[in-house]
Structure formats: C-alpha cells, structure tokens
Amino acid sequence: MTKRTYDFAVIGAGVFGAWTAYFLRQSGASVALLDAYGPANSRASSGGETRVIRMGYGPDELYTRWAMRSLPLWRDFATRTKREIFRQTGVLWLSNDADAYLKSLCGVLAQAGVEREELKAEEIARRWPQLRFHDVTWGVLEPNSGLLLARESVQALVKELVGSGVEYLPAAAEAPSAQGKLAQIKTRTGESISAGTFVFCSGPWLPKIFPELLAERIFVTRQEVFFLGAPAGSADFRPPKMPVWLHRTHPGLPYALPDIEGRGFKIAFDLHGERFDPDAGGRVVAESSIERLREYLRQHIPVLVHAPLVETRVCQYENTWNGDFLIDRHPQFENVWIAGGGSGHGFKHGPALGEYLSQRILHGAPGEPRFSLAAKQTAQNRAVY
Ligand SMILES: Cc1cc2nc3c(=O)[nH]c(=O)nc-3n(C[C@H](O)[C@H](O)[C@H](O)COP(=O)(O)OP(=O)(O)OC[C@H]3O[C@@H](n4cnc5c(N)ncnc54)[C@H](O)[C@@H]3O)c2cc1C
C-alpha cells in the first residue's frame, strides 16, 4: 500500500474538478486530481461532444456574470493549447411575445454590455429557411456565444495540469467516514491519499459518496441526446449556416447544436428524465424518444424527418432542487469541500466555478448564499434555465 501527501486532493476530473485543480495549482500548492473512470469519461456529465456556452439566463444576472467571466478563460485556454475548443456559432433564442424570461434576458444582457440582436419571425425564417418555427414570433441572437468541445477541452486541461505539476491519479476514492479534520482518503485499491484539504467535484456521484447529506438534495436524471445525419453535401446544419438554438415555445424545451467535425446535427430536449445511476445505468436511447424526435422534426425541420441517427448518447443531469450549483464546505469536516449540482447548465461555468471555489478555499472569500448547502431544498422546483 502506497501513501501520498498533497496540499489539495480534488476528487473528480470533470469540468468542475479540472478547473478547480487549475486555480489551486496556480497558487503554487501541490495538487492531486483523482478520477475513477478518467477525465470526461463516457459516464461523466462532462463526457459529451459539445456543450452550449450562452450569456443569457433570463432574469438571472448571477449566471450571466459567471458565463461572461468563463468565456474569456475558455478562449485563453484555447489559445494557449492551440485547440479550437470554442466555436463562435452564435446562440439563437426562439420564443414568443409573451415570454417574460426572454424579455428579462434582453434587459440583463443590455445592462451587462453583451452584444445581442433582436429578430422578428420573418427575419428568422429568412435567415434559417431550413427551420420552421410556426409558434415563434421573435428571437434573440447572441452572436459572440457558441459551443465548447466538452470532452476534448476537459481532457486537454487535465493534460495541461499534469504538465504544470498536478498529479493525476486514476483512482476511485472511498467515501470519507470520520468527522472533524479529514487526514486522508482511501482508494478502492487500498491506496491512502493524505491532503490538507479535499475537494469533491464528483458530479452525479456526489449523492452516492455523501448519501446522508445529498441523496435528497441532488437528483440525477437520465438525459438523451441525438445526432442526425444531414443530407449528403448539405452545409445547412453546420456553422456558419446553423447556430446553436433553443426553442422556448415548445413544451419539450428542445435545443440544437450545429454539426461539428462531422458528428451530426445535435438535438435534445431539456426536460428532466427519470432517475439514473451514473455507474450502471443503460446508455441506449428509448424507441419512444426517437418517435417523439421524429414528430418534432416533422413539424420544425422537415428536411431531416427521415435523417439517420448517426449517433446517440445517454448522459445525466445532477440537479439541485432549483438548478443552483452546490459549492460549500462539508458540514462535518472542516477541510472537505463539495462542488457540484451542475443541473444541466454547468459546463460553460467551469472556469468561473474553479476560480470562485479556489478563492474561497485559499483566501476565505465570501460565499454566494445561493450556492450554500443550507439553500438546498429537497423538493424539486426548477428555477434556473
Ligand atoms: C445531455 C447534457 C447536456 C448538457 N448541456 C449543457 C450545455 O449545453 N451547457 C452547459 O453549460 N452545461 C450542459 N450540461 C451540464 C454539464 O455538462 C454539467 O453540469 C457538467 O459537466 C458537470 O461537471 P462535473 O465536473 O460536476 O461532473 P462530471 O463531469 O460528471 O465529473 C465528475 C467526475 O467525478 C468522477 N468520480 C465520481 N466519483 C468518484 C470517486 N469516488 N473517485 C474518483 N472519481 C470519481 C467521475 O468519474 C467523473 O469524471 C449538460 C449535461 C448533459 C448531461
């Protein structure tokens, strides 16, 4: 049995853990980063191809500010690693005149100085004739937003971390059992990892690691994603002809991302699925979901109604009761922190979250009440979109 000692041990190399390790390492501290299945693995929430990065959050200024902070950090990372992990495709919000969320979003973006373009239905139909939104009367385009290559960026970040002295350990951490100050954690293969502070960024696994604390506070739900093959030779579903878009007037809350690197036009519904086990849950999409998708295509993207499904994915959201992140100290351990509850919108915020959490840990920076454990209720009532 080997024994290792660090200033910080971060458990989970998804987007939250990797960016937290990045900022902790920037302070000169020694950092271990553990993952049971590998950075941005296929079971992890960060393991997908692409994730939307948008500035708009309806009336919610906090997440607009965090997205605004994160985008330049993603861009810097892309520049220094010479990887095109950010694609400025634009993000198009589609809705109707009664949508208070979109009206507030315009106000928040205007106040924050985020560029946006308001579009009437006729203009939307003219610019994107491959789409048919009969129920949409206006839209808002964020021209400087777009998408992130999720798996590639997290894996590249972990590679960079290793180059800067972070020790990456392919290991599954056991749940800590003591109270007070935690001296070490054990891995499932019998190693002992000692650290001054432990940071659990274990995404949808958090309720399994801390069942008493989180089984009722983080709801892990099954989410299906579809990639459609566009007609041969067509550029209509790739940038620059296709932005990211979110169809807010449809009850299924569909959203789509353009075909990137030839993997297909991505489309999904932002409704919470059934409860899901991230270790053992089946990752094949249901026939009934494919039928629902075809029905949606028939109405809104007729040219793709018979398009082949070139790939599908089943991922999971790790939802808090209302969608606010959980970033707080563990109440039973003075040196254990928890960061999770990405709730289907966390990826873009990885840099801002890592920066915020490291400031709290290293410098005792004040905490945002919305991220506290105390604010986490046990009845689901989604409020952050
Ligand atoms: C289908 C889908 C679409 C989404 N779309 C968007 C989007 O468009 N934009 C956006 O911003 N966000 C989006 N999200 C949300 C975003 O992907 C997540 O909020 C984010 O990836 C969460 O990252 P994480 O680091 O908390 O968790 P994870 O990525 O799951 O990382 C946790 C890691 O911890 C490891 N781990 C767990 N237990 C242990 C242990 N005991 N020991 C060691 N390692 C352990 C796991 O292996 C895993 O790698 C989407 C999510 C899904 C599922």
Instruction: Look at residue 3 in the predicted model and tell me its pLDDT.
Output: 58
Ligand 1 centroid vs 272 CA: distance in angstroms?
A: 15
User: Probe ligand 1: pick from 11, 16, 22, 46, max atoms within 8 Å of CB?
Assistant: 46
Residue 279's pLDDT is 98
- Residue 64, judged by CB atoms within 10 A of its CB (0-12, 13-18, 19+), counts as buried
Confidence band for 165, pLDDT divided at 50, 70 and 90: very high
The model's pLDDT over 73-94, given as tens digits with 9 standing for 90+, comes to 999 999 999 999 999 999 999 9
∠ Cα 302 236 115 (to 5°):
110
Please identify which residue in the block is written with the tokens 């010479």.
82
Place of tokens 């506070």: 217
Do the bridges between strand 31-35 and strand 3-11 make them parallel or antiparallel, or are there none, so unpaired? parallel
DSSP codes joined into one string, 161-182:
HHHTT-EEEE-PBPPP---BS-
> Taking the CA atoms of the chain, what radius of gyration do you get in angstroms?
21
User: Mind listing the pLDDT tens digit for each residue in 105-131?
Assistant: 999 999 999 999 999 999 999 999 999
What is the per-residue pLDDT across 244-255, written as a single tens digit (0 to 9) for each? 999 999 999 999
pLDDT tens digits along 206-231? 999 999 999 999 999 999 999 999 99
Write out pLDDT tens, residues 331-362: 999 999 999 999 999 999 999 999 999 999 99
DSSP 8-state assignment for residue 31 = E
User: Cα of 41 to ligand 1 centre, how many Å?
Assistant: 9
pLDDT number for residue 177: 87
Q: Does the beta carbon of 14 sit less than 6 angstroms from any atom of ligand 1?
A: yes
DSSP 368: P
Taking 90 as the threshold, does the pLDDT of residue 72 lie above it?
yes
pLDDT tier at 1, thresholds 50, 70, 90? very low
pTM: 0.98
The answer, yes or no, to whether residue 29 has pLDDT greater than 80, is: yes
